[in-house]
Amino acid sequence: MSVQPPPLATPDPVDAAAYAWVLEHGRLDPGALAGHLAALGLDPAAAAPALARLAGWGLVHSDPQDPARGRAVGPSAAVDVLTGPIEAQIAHCQQQLAEGRARLAGFLPYYLDGGRPPVGDGLRVIATLPEVRAALDRASAECRREVLASQPGGGARVPEAMQEALRRDRALLARGVRMRTLYHHTARFNGPSQAYVEAAAGLGAEYRTLHELFGRLIVFDRSRAFVPLSDGSTGAVVVTEESLVAYLCEIFDQAWAVARPFASAAEEGLGQVAQEIDRTILRLLAGGLKDETIARRVGLSLRTARRHIADIMAQLGAESRFQAGVAAARAGLLDD
């Protein structure tokens, strides 16, 4: 409920006449003011009390060098002086109210969650790539037992990022930390990825590949996870909430159990690996997924994924994705 301001008050005639007289003459002389009041038909004996009231309200001020001289100030200036201490007290009370409300509101998540601690503090957003790299360096330095990583996209990364990752990996493996990483099968065709895996595996790291990956993920000691931002930027979300981290680790463990040890495409046969990738693309195509989603799921660039899709449809003699799905099902290509 808002407080309405009071209506404008009409000053007492004596006070108004005294204020106007001081404003005009610049004096605080009760005797002279009394003569002025008498000329106006007002009580001259009210001169001194009127000057006292005006001084108390801050409307008139005496000259320190000559008390008989003085000046009148504007009502707005007098209001600031008169109400300043009151407003300061009100502000102090408002601050106390805000602090009290914030203090009690901090208990609301516990109340809503049945007494369990809130999980909001278990998530932290890192907006820029340099900050993400710094956070990864800190997490690597503090890691003592295990690192889990899922690296979609065929494992293709810029050389600087791979060198930085290999530097962290060497330090971790030297401390006896177990490292397990999942790649897409398409990483088997990528020369830099093959070289990276060979170097890290020689130090004790483990690598496996899958046709599809659930997304990018790095977990340190099953207590701190890094996942990408959904907007596609270079930032990340750091997850430390115990239940969420355990859930992410379970997803990784399930994928690791069905993944295959990393090997170059040449070692397993280029044709076989390519056929397995096309089979996965065909299954996703039949599921109605868009080209962009298919490319991300199998770790190919959008251009390469579309070339595979075009080749598959041509081989099946299909003019639409629906026709391709029907033809593939009839040929048993979608069977597990």
Q: What is the pLDDT of residue 147?
A: 96
Q: What is the pLDDT of residue 1?
A: 45
**Which of 265, 281, 296 is the last residue in one of the domains?**
265
Question: The pTM is what?
Answer: 0.53
Q: Which two tokens stand for residue 136?
A: 């990864």
Same domain as 190, residue 61? no
Q: What is the pLDDT of residue 11?
A: 83
Q: What is the pLDDT of residue 59?
A: 81
Same domain as 128, residue 92? no
CB atoms inside a 10 Å sphere around CB 113: 11
Q: Is residue 6 part of a domain?
A: no
Same domain as 42, residue 131? no
Q: What is the pLDDT of residue 15?
A: 85
Same domain as 232, residue 273? no
Q: Is residue 8 part of a domain?
A: no
Same domain as 286, residue 256? no
Residue 113 three-state SS: coil
CATH of the domain at 290: 1.10.10.10
CB atoms inside a 10 Å sphere around CB 151: 21
Q: Is residue 4 part of a domain?
A: no
Same domain as 324, residue 245? no
Start-to-end Cα distance in the chain: 69
Same domain as 259, residue 136? yes
Residue 326 domain boundaries: 269-330
Residues in a beta bridge with 209 = 183, 260
pLDDT mean by block of 10 residues, the chain; 336 residues: 59 86 85 87 89 84 78 75 75 80 67 50 84 89 94 65 80 93 83 83 90 88 92 86 93 92 62 70 76 76 80 76 71 62
Contact 173, 204 (CB under 8 A): yes
